[in-house]
Structure 1
Amino acid sequence: MNNDYCLFCFVTECEYKFISRTGGPQNGTFTAPRLTNPFNHSFMCVYIFFAGPHQKVEVTFLSFNLRGTPPECKHEYLDLYAEVQNPDTTELINSPFGGRFCGSIPPRARISLYRTIAFSFYTDKNDTLPEIFTGKYSFINDSLYQVGTAAPNIPCTFTINASIRRKGSIVSPTYPGAYPKPLSCSFLFLGKSGQRLHLEFRDFDLFSGGPHCPFDSVTVYDGRDNSSAVIGTYCGQHRNLVIYSSQENLYVSFEAIQRSANTQNRGFKGIFEFSESFVKLDFIQKNGGEHIRGTECDQKILSKKESSGFVFSPNYPFPYIPKTVCRYFIYGMQDTQNLERVRLQFVMFDIPKGEKAEKDECGDRYLKIYLKGQEQTDAYDKYDYEMCGENQPEIMISDGPRLVMIFASGDSQGRGFKAKYSFETDYLVPGTAAPEGKCMFSYQSASRKQGDFNSPRFPGNYPSGINCTYTFIATPNEQVAIIFDYFKVRADNANTSIAQYGDENCQEDWLEIYNMYRDGTEVRLGRYCGFTAPGPVESNRGAIGIKLFFRANEKGVYSGFKARYSFETAKPVFGDCGGNISNAEQATGIIQSENFPIKYEAPESGMATKSCHWYLNVKAAHQILINILEFTLEGNPASRGCSAAVLRLWLDMNTYPIEVCGEKPNNDSLLYVSVSNQARISFVVADKSVGMAGFRLSWTEVSVAPSICKEFKCEKSSYCILGKLRCNNISNCGENDLSDEANCVLAESSDWIVIVVTAVSVVGSVILMFTCYICQRRKNRRRRRHTIPSGSVHSYSGHQHVCDELGQRFASVDSV
C-alpha cells in the first residue's frame, strides 16, 4: 500500500479500506502511515478489510516494531478486531475486541469470523514511518469453513449428514488464524445405521490450562448431543488425534471462554469419514470386554476378582479385516486389599507373516504382548513378545496387574487368534505358587539352594484377612536355615516393652514357624509379631524341612517381613559345638558361648548359620535351674528382635522355647526353671552377625519345694540341692538366694590350713631323708679308714638316733 495512491482503497482523514470486488485483486500489502507530529498529539488510523460474499479475510503481519512497551502499550499500539459484523466504521467500537499489540512481536495471522477484519493504529510519537509495521491480506473462499449445513444466524454450528457428505474436512471458524474469544461452535455428525465415523484432527492447537482443560476445549460426545457419553475433552497441542464413534452419530463441541489473557492459538483442522467398513464391535461386547470409546477397536477387560474369559481378533471367527490396529488392555485388581496378575493362554493362533518381513520378524502383521506395564509410559517400542505365523505361543504371565496386546493386521487377512485370560491373585512372593491363587508357596532344595521370600506385597502393606503358608523342603542329609532381615507385623495388644512373641502377645497378626517331620507331624518353634524378628532358625536334625504360617486378621495391616533361606549340609545333632549333659552325679555346671568373653564368630563363608545345642538331663523328679550370669548378644527383643543371634531355652520340651538376645543389666537376673528333668539350650548365629561377647550361664539340678530335703535346702527359694554344691562359688539356689554360698569363710580357712600342713610335711620328709643319706655316707667312709673304738661307735650311734628323731618329728607333722 502507498499512502499517496491505493487501488480500491479510500482515505478519509486516516482511514484505509480494502475491498474485495469482482474482477479486482484478491490480495495485497499494507504498511503503517507516514506521519509527522511535531507536537506529539494523539493520532489514530483505521484499516478495514471487506471480503465479498462467500469470502473471508486473512491478514498477516510481515514486520512489526511499534514503540509502545507491552503489556501497557502506551504511546503506540495496534488494536485488532476480527469479529466485525457491521462494516460501518462508526460501529467498530461495538465489535468484540481482538487484542492490543505493541513492541516487536506481531499479532498472529487472523482470519475473519464473518467477512470483515479491522485494526486501528494509535500513536503520539512525532514521526511515524511506514516500516514500523507491514503486512499482507487475502480474500479467501470460505468453502473450507462450510463444513456442513449451517444453523441460521450462528457463525459456526453445523450438521454433517452422511447421506449428503460421506467424507470431508472440519476446521475451527478462523483456522489457521488465531481464534477469537469467547467462541462457541458445534458439529453434529449424523450417519446411517451400521456406519461408524472416523474423525482425525491433523492439526490441533488450543490454549492449554492443564489436564482438565478449564479454559478452551474441544469435547467429543459419542452420540447426537452433549447428553451422550463423553469420548474425551481435548486442549493444548495434538497431532493426528484420531477418534471413532461407537455407532453412527458423533457430536463435537468447541468452547473458548472470554478472558483478558492475550492468547493466540490456531484452533484445529481435521478430516472425517462415515463408513460401514470399520471394525464391528460385537467381538468385544459379546465376550465381556468393554470398548474404549473413541477408538476403532481398542478394548479393556477389568477383573471381577479371579475371573477369566476369552479375547479374540476382530471379526473372529471369520478372517480379520486388513489395515486394522486393535489394542487390548487386560487389567487385574490392584488396591489395598487385592493384587492380581494376568495369565494368557492361546487356543488358536494364525497371523500370516508379512511378505517383506525378515526371517525373524513379523513385518506389519503381528500381535505384540506387553507384560510389564509399558503402556503407562507409552513405551510401546519395548514389547516383551512379537508373534506371527501359525505356531501356538507359550503361556504368558504378566509381571504385575497389567497385560496389554496390540494386534496389527497389515494389508492382508488371516484367521486371527483366540486366547484365554485368567486373573490370578499375585502376592509378589518369590517361590513356587500353589494353583488356584492360594497364598501358598513352596521352596525345594532340589530346585534352588537359597533365595529370598517375604510377606504378601512386601515392601507394601500385606492385605488383611489373609493366611499364607511357606514350606521349605530339604533333601536327605540337609537342613534349612532361615534368616530374617525385616520384620513388622501388627500386634496391638502386645506389650512393647518386652519381646513380642508367643500366643499371649500375638493375637492379631502373627508368623509361626514349624519343624516338619516325615510322619506328617509338625512341631512349632514359635509365634512372632510386632517388631520382634525371629532369631536365625535351623531345622532340627531329622526334620524334612520348615513351614512358616503367616496370618493377618481383618483389621489394620503393616509392611510384614522379608527373609532369606538356605539349604545346607546337615550338622551333627549338637551343631557346630554343644553336647549332651546327663551326668547325674555332676548336678551343676557352666555353659558358655564359644570364645567367651571374646566375641563369638559369624559362620564360615558360604554358610548361613552357626549353631550350638546343649541337651540337659538330670535325675527323675528333679528340675533344672538355669541362671544366665553374663549376657551380651546382638539385637533387642522388644524393638527389633534377635535376627542376628539368639539364645533359645526349651524349659518344656513339649512347647516352644524362650528367645533371648540383647544385653543383661548388671543388677537384673535371667533365671529360668525347667518343667521337667530335661531342658535344651541352643545358640544360633546368622551370617550377618558382627559378634559380641556372648553368654555364660550355670545350670543346677534342683528339687522344687520337697517336704523333706536330705541334702541342702535353700533358704528363700526352698530348692533342695546336693550338699556338695554348697560353697562351690556358684549360686545354685536361684534369684536373690545366696544361702548356699553363705558362711563359707571358715571352711575356706580350714582348707588352706590342710594345704599348708601337707606342704610342710612333704618338705620335711625330703629334708630328713637327705640328712640320713649324708650321715650314712660319712659313717661308711670312716670305717674304711680306721679301726673304730667302741666309744666312737656309741657316739655315732647317738648321731643316728638324732636322724631318726628328726624323721619322727616330720612324720608327726605329716600326720596332722
Structure 2
Amino acid sequence: MDWILIFFLSAYFHSICASDEFFPFTECDHVFDNTVNKGHFSLPILPKELRNTKTSSPKLPNNIQCVYTFVAGKGQRVKLEFTQFQLDGTVDNCDLEYIDIYSELTSPTQDLLTGPLASRYCGTVSPHVRVSLNNVIVLVFHSRVGRKRTEAFQLKGKYTFINETKFIPGSRLGEHPCAFLIEPTKQRRGQILSPTYPGTYPSNFHCSYLLKGNSGDRIRLFFRDFDIYFGGEHCPYDALTVYDGHNNKAPIIRKVCGLQQRLEMFSFGSELFLEFNSTDPAKNDPRGYLIEYEFSDKFVDVKQLLSGQRGVSYLTGSECDVRVQSNRETVHYIQSPNYPHPYPPNTTCTYILDGLQGDQNLEKVILKFESFAVLNDVQGSREVSLENGDECWAFVGVAGQESTIKSVMANNEESVYDATLCHRIPAGSPKLGPYSSQGPRMVLVFGSMNEVPPNVPLPLGFKARVEFKTDFGVPGSPMGGSNECLFQFTEKRGHFNSPRYPANYPLDTTCTYIIKGEPGEQVLLYFEQFALFEEPSKEECNDWLEVYDVSRDGNETETSQLQAKHCWTVIPGPTTSSFGFHEMKVVFNSNQYGTANGFMALYEIRKAFAEQVPAKDGADKDHCGGLIQADSDHTSGWITSPGFGAKYTKDLICDWEIKVRPDHQALLQLTQMDVEGEMTDTKVSCKNAVIKVHRDYLNRTADINICGTNPAVISPIISIGNSIRISFLTSPDKVNGLNGFNFTWTEIRMVKQDGECSGEGLYLCSYTRYCIASRLRCNGDDNCGQNDDTDEAHCNILEKAADSQTLLVAAIMSGFIFLFIFGFFCLLFKKKLEKKTDRNTTTMDPKESERVKKESQIQAIIVKQRQRHPFRQQQPKISRVSRNGSDNGMLPTPALSRIRRHDEMTELIIPPNQMALNEHTFYG
C-alpha cells in the first residue's frame, strides 16, 4: 500500500502544480525515524488535511519550504540515495527552487541556521550518496516556482539506517570524534573508512589513525577505494598522508589525493600513522576512502635484505624495494628475500641500481649473478632459457635499456624485460651475465608465486654482484679500456652521441666512433642535434667533430681521409661516405675550458650505389642526378633539384657532375634557392637538407655546404679543373619540403689578352675576362660571372632608342607649352603697358609728347642694331668602327662604362643597322 500512496501523492502534487487551483500548505515538515530500517521517500510530502479532504482554494503560496528529518537510532547512521531528481534551476543558479542537505548535525533539534551546511542542489544534477556523520540528516526543500514551473517535478530516493560499527576501526584517541588507535589484539586485518563513506565526506574535517603492531610485525595498507578531491600534484587541499612511524613527525611515505586504484603501502617497522584533512566542500562530491590494513610478521625482513651495506637503502612504503647507489666505481651485492633460504610466496621486490651522473662523472651498471634458483616446478631442477621467459611464473627480470626501465617503473606487473630468468641456472652459464645498462641506471625485479616446497635443496633465490664502472653514455660496442671512449657500430641503423648527452659533455675528452659496413655498402650520417662550445672568436675551434672516410688493406691497416670538420652550434647536413668507402669514423674532441650539450648523430648502413654519379637521371631510383658533358654546341645549362618548383621529399641523395672541355673550367651560379636551413657569413646550419659543391672531390674538406633561402650569400663558384660535382642530400627521417634550387653552369676559359678570345663563336666578358661562347649573349642568363652583365647588357637597344625618342618628343612638347604660356603673359603685360603709356601721353603738352615719341623711335633703332643671331651648335661627328676589327685610335671596345657615359652626355643614338660589330664589340 505504501507505493500506492507515494504514487498518489506524487501525481497529486504534480497535478495541483499544473492546474489553476492550488491548495494552501499549513505544514509540510516530516520526520523519518528508525521504526522502519529502510524505505523510500517522495518529496514534498503533502500535509494530512490535503491527503484526507478535498478542499479547493484559488491560491497556492509561491513560497514553499518543507523540512524533512531522518533520525537513526543509537549506534546507527543515516544513508540517503536519490533515485529521481529534477528541480527548477541550474547548478549555478538555485534561486527559485533547491534542497539543502545537512548531514553533519549532532541532534535533530540543532539550529539549522548555525549548523554546518553540506551542500545545496537544484536542476537535474542529483546529489551523490549521503551518510550522516552522526545519526541525523535533515533535508530542507524550498520552492518559489509556483505557476512558473515548466518541467515535471521529481524528488525521490531511498533511505537506510545502518550500523556505525564499521566507521570505528579501533579505540578512540582522546576527545576527537575521528581519532583512533588500531592494534592487532582482536584481529590482524580490518578496514579504515572515511567518516561518511561512501557518502561525500565532511568539509573542514580532520581524522587520524595510529596503527600499532607487535614487535617484528610490518603493516600493509591496500587502498580498495579512494576518491578525494584532487587539487594538484602535491595535494594542497584535501589529502590523506601516510607516515612511516608513530606520529606525523615520522618520514612521509606518501601524500595521496584524487582517484587511486590498487595502491599498496608497507611500513618499515611495526607502526604507521595516517592523517586525513579536508578543506571547503568540493563540487564533485568525492566518496572518501576505504583502506584495508594487515599486520603480519611474514612480510619481507628488510634489514636482512639490506645486510648493512653502505649505499644500499630501503625504499619507503614498499614491501622490499631496494636502491643501490654508487660511491664512485664501487661494488655491491643484492639478494632475494631470506636468501639462501626459501623466499616468501606472492612477493615482488624491485632493485634500483643507480650509478653516478654528474658534470664530470657518469657510470654504468654491470650485473652478474653468482647464484640463481627461482623455481617454477616442484623439483626445482629445471632450467629455462631466456627466450622462454614467458613460462616463468616466479622470475627475475632485468631492465637495462631506457625504454624498458620506464616501462618497468610505470608498471612492473605487465612489463617486458630485457632479460627474464627463472628456474635453476648452473654456474658458468652465460645466462648469469654480465648484463650492462644503457645509461647510469638498471632495474631488477624479483617476483615469486607459490610457496617453495620444503625438500628443495639450497640455495634458493638469487645473489648478484653489482659493479659501477665509468660510462660515457654512448651506445655501441666498447672497443677500448674502461676509461677509453672508443665504440664500434655494426648494426644497419643506429645512433651515437657525445658523452653523457643530453647533459653537457665532460671537459678534456676525446671519443671515437667507428661505423663499420661491409664491402658493397655505404654509410649515411645525419645529425639530430649539434651544439659544441663556442669560442669568443669565430676563428677558434677547440671543441670539434671530424668525419673521416676509412679504408683498410688486407692486414686491417687503417687509412683515414678527412671529409669534414664541424664546430660551434651549427648542425651539419646529411653526408655519405665517399664512393668506394664502406666505413666511416667520427672523432669528437673537447678541451678543458668550456662545455655544451654536445650532439646526437644517426647513421644508416646501406647498399652502395652502382655508379659514383648516375650516367643519366633516373638510371637508379635511389640515386638521382646525372653526368653533364659539355661540348662546342653545349656550353651552358641548368641543374635543378628533383621536381624543382614543387616540394622536395625526404631521403634524397643526388649527384651531378659537370665535365667541360680540356683547358676550360665550369662556372656555377645559384639563381634560385629555397632549401630549409640557415646560412650566414660565418655559419651554415643545414640539418635536414644540404647542397654540397665539390670543387675537388679528392679533397672533401674543400666542399662548400649551402642551404637557406637567399642565393645572394653564395658567390659564383669556379671549378679547379675541368669538372665540378654537386650533391643534394635530405634527411631520411623528416624534411619540411621547400621548393629546392636552380643552378646555371657555363663553360668558361680565363684569358689574359684579348687576342686569346678572338675568332668566330667567342665572346670576351668585359670585367671578369672570361671567354665564353658568343651564342650565350642575350640568352637571359648572366654567363659572365659576378658583377659582369656585359653579355646581357644592351640586348634591348631598340627599346632604349624608342624610349629616348619618346623623351625627346615629350621635351619638345613641354617647350612649346612653356613658350605659349610665356608669350601669353608677355602679351598681357604689353597691353597693360600700352594703356599706361596712353594715359601718360594724354596728360603731357604737345611739345613734350612729340619729344618723347622721337626718343622712343631712336631707342628702338639702337636695340635693333645690337640684336645678335642665335647660337647654332655644330653638328657632332660620328666615328664608325671598321669592320676589320681595328679601332683606328677610336674608342676601345671593352670600355662599356665610357660608352654609357658618352651616350648619356651626348644623347647620341645609333641604330643597330648602322653599327659595325665584330666578336669583341657589343656597341659601336
Pick the TM interval, shorter chain: 0.5 to 0.7
Counterpart in the other structure of 1:143:
165
Find out whether 1:244 has 2:244 as its counterpart: no
Q: 2:70 aligns with which of 39, 49, 58?
A: 49
- Letter aligned with residue 257 of structure 1: T
Q: 1:81 aligns with which of 81, 84, 102?
A: 102
Whether the 8 Å contact between 2:131 and 2:198 is mirrored in structure 1 is yes
1:138 Cα offset (Å): 3.3
Where is the helix percentage greater, Structure 1 or Structure 2?
A: 2
Q: 1:362 aligns with which of 375, 391, 395?
A: 391
Q: Describe the shift of the 1:667–1:610 C-alpha distance in structure 2 as closer, same or farther (beyond 3 A).
A: closer
Counterpart in the other structure of 1:441:
487
- The CA deviation string for residues 626-664 of structure 1, in whole angstroms up to 9 with x for no partner, is 99763469998952588744224999xxxx964456699
1:106 Cα offset (Å): 3.7
Unpaired runs of 5+ residues, structure 1, are: 497-503, 578-591, 614-625, 673-678, 701-713, 715-724, 731-735, 739-747, 751-816
Whether the 8 Å contact between 1:350 and 1:416 is mirrored in structure 2 is yes
1:161 Cα offset (Å): 2.7
1:489 Cα offset (Å): 5.1
- Letter aligned with residue 646 of structure 1: H
SS at match of 1:140: strand
1:252 Cα offset (Å): 0.7
Counterpart in the other structure of 1:741:
none
Q: 2:113 aligns with which of 58, 72, 93?
A: 93
- Letter aligned with residue 374 of structure 1: S
Q: Describe the shift of the 1:419–1:726 C-alpha distance in structure 2 as closer, same or farther (beyond 3 A).
A: farther
Q: Describe the shift of the 1:749–1:344 C-alpha distance in structure 2 as closer, same or farther (beyond 3 A).
A: same
Q: 1:33 aligns with which of 45, 52, 55?
A: 45
1:275 Cα offset (Å): 1.5
Counterpart in the other structure of 2:513:
470
Aligned counterparts of 1:208 and 1:235: Cα–Cα separation in 2: 5
- The CA deviation string for residues 42-62 of structure 1, in whole angstroms up to 9 with x for no partner, is 343323333333332333334
Find out whether 1:630 has 2:667 as its counterpart: yes
Whether the 8 Å contact between 1:461 and 1:560 is mirrored in structure 2 is no
- The CA deviation string for residues 28-87 of structure 1, in whole angstroms up to 9 with x for no partner, is 444431156833153433233333333323333344444455443334332221111244
Say how many residue pairs are matched.
655
Counterpart in the other structure of 1:389:
423
Where is the strand percentage greater, Structure 1 or Structure 2?
A: 1
Aligned counterparts of 1:726 and 1:30: Cα–Cα separation in 2: 116
Whether the 8 Å contact between 1:306 and 1:425 is mirrored in structure 2 is no
Identity, in percent, stands at 24
Counterpart in the other structure of 1:418:
463
1:196 Cα offset (Å): 0.9
> Aligned-residue CA RMSD in angstroms?
5.6
Counterpart in the other structure of 1:120:
140
Whether the 8 Å contact between 2:235 and 2:255 is mirrored in structure 1 is yes
Q: Describe the shift of the 1:493–1:593 C-alpha distance in structure 2 as closer, same or farther (beyond 3 A).
A: farther
Counterpart in the other structure of 1:175:
197
Q: Describe the shift of the 1:13–1:4 C-alpha distance in structure 2 as closer, same or farther (beyond 3 A).
A: farther
1:314 Cα offset (Å): 1.6
Aligned counterparts of 1:194 and 1:145: Cα–Cα separation in 2: 28
- Letter aligned with residue 511 of structure 2: C
Q: Describe the shift of the 1:200–1:474 C-alpha distance in structure 2 as closer, same or farther (beyond 3 A).
A: closer
1:242 Cα offset (Å): 1.6
Counterpart in the other structure of 1:17:
31
How do 1:196-215 and structure 2 match up within 5 A? 196-215=218-237
1:383 Cα offset (Å): 0.6
- The CA deviation string for residues 765-803 of structure 1, in whole angstroms up to 9 with x for no partner, is xxxxxxxxxxxxxxxxxxxxxxxxxxxxxxxxxxxxxxx
Aligned counterparts of 2:169 and 2:529: Cα–Cα separation in 1: 67
1:285 Cα offset (Å): 6.4
Whether the 8 Å contact between 1:649 and 1:680 is mirrored in structure 2 is no
Aligned counterparts of 2:3 and 2:342: Cα–Cα separation in 1: 71
1:157 Cα offset (Å): 0.7
SS at match of 1:436: coil
Aligned counterparts of 2:231 and 2:301: Cα–Cα separation in 1: 36
With 61-70 and 380-389 compared, the bigger mean Cα shift is at 61-70
Aligned counterparts of 2:161 and 2:704: Cα–Cα separation in 1: 94
How do 1:80-479 and structure 2 match up within 5 A? 80-89=101-110, 91-124=111-144, 132-163=154-185, 165-259=187-281, 261-282=282-303, 283-284=305-306, 286-287=308-309, 288-301=311-324, 309-331=332-354, 342-354=365-377, 361-362=390-391, 364-370=393-399, 371=401, 372=404, 373-375=406-408, 378=411, 380-384=413-417, 385-391=419-425, 393=431, 394-398=433-437, 403-413=442-452, 415-422=460-467, 425=471, 427-430=473-476, 434-436=480-482, 438-442=484-488, 454-456=496-498, 463-465=505-507, 466-471=509-514
- The CA deviation string for residues 326-368 of structure 1, in whole angstroms up to 9 with x for no partner, is 2234456678988766543322211111569999553532223
How do 1:416-815 and structure 2 match up within 5 A? 416-422=461-467, 425=471, 427-430=473-476, 434-436=480-482, 438-442=484-488, 454-456=496-498, 463-465=505-507, 466-471=509-514, 488=530, 490=532, 492-493=534-535, 504-511=539-546, 513=548, 527-530=565-568, 531=570, 533=572, 547-553=585-591, 555-557=594-596, 560=599, 562=601, 630-631=667-668, 639-640=684-685, 644-648=692-696, 658-660=702-704, 688=729
Aligned counterparts of 1:221 and 1:628: Cα–Cα separation in 2: 83
TM-score w.r.t. length of structure 2: 0.58
Aligned counterparts of 1:16 and 1:34: Cα–Cα separation in 2: 9
Q: Describe the shift of the 1:121–1:611 C-alpha distance in structure 2 as closer, same or farther (beyond 3 A).
A: closer
Aligned counterparts of 1:665 and 1:207: Cα–Cα separation in 2: 62
Aligned counterparts of 1:47 and 1:114: Cα–Cα separation in 2: 16
- Letter aligned with residue 212 of structure 1: H
Whether the 8 Å contact between 1:599 and 1:691 is mirrored in structure 2 is yes
Q: Describe the shift of the 1:525–1:98 C-alpha distance in structure 2 as closer, same or farther (beyond 3 A).
A: closer
- Letter aligned with residue 694 of structure 2: V
Aligned counterparts of 1:134 and 1:549: Cα–Cα separation in 2: 79
Q: Describe the shift of the 1:84–1:662 C-alpha distance in structure 2 as closer, same or farther (beyond 3 A).
A: closer
Whether the 8 Å contact between 1:645 and 1:686 is mirrored in structure 2 is yes
Whether the 8 Å contact between 1:535 and 1:643 is mirrored in structure 2 is no
Counterpart in the other structure of 2:795:
none
With 321-330 and 525-534 compared, the bigger mean Cα shift is at 525-534
Whether the 8 Å contact between 2:544 and 2:590 is mirrored in structure 1 is yes
Q: Describe the shift of the 1:628–1:228 C-alpha distance in structure 2 as closer, same or farther (beyond 3 A).
A: farther
Q: Describe the shift of the 1:519–1:354 C-alpha distance in structure 2 as closer, same or farther (beyond 3 A).
A: closer
1:408 Cα offset (Å): 1.8
Whether the 8 Å contact between 1:198 and 1:244 is mirrored in structure 2 is yes
Whether the 8 Å contact between 2:504 and 2:595 is mirrored in structure 1 is no
Whether the 8 Å contact between 2:37 and 2:161 is mirrored in structure 1 is yes
- The CA deviation string for residues 700-732 of structure 1, in whole angstroms up to 9 with x for no partner, is 9xxxxxxxxxxxxx9xxxxxxxxxx997569xx
- Letter aligned with residue 407 of structure 1: F
SS at match of 1:144: helix
Whether the 8 Å contact between 2:107 and 2:135 is mirrored in structure 1 is no
- Letter aligned with residue 94 of structure 1: T
- Letter aligned with residue 112 of structure 2: L
Q: Describe the shift of the 1:16–1:4 C-alpha distance in structure 2 as closer, same or farther (beyond 3 A).
A: farther
Aligned counterparts of 1:563 and 1:13: Cα–Cα separation in 2: 83
TM-score w.r.t. length of structure 1: 0.65
1:519 Cα offset (Å): 7.6
1:94 Cα offset (Å): 2.2
Aligned counterparts of 1:526 and 1:41: Cα–Cα separation in 2: 90
1:279 Cα offset (Å): 0.6
Whether the 8 Å contact between 1:285 and 1:291 is mirrored in structure 2 is no
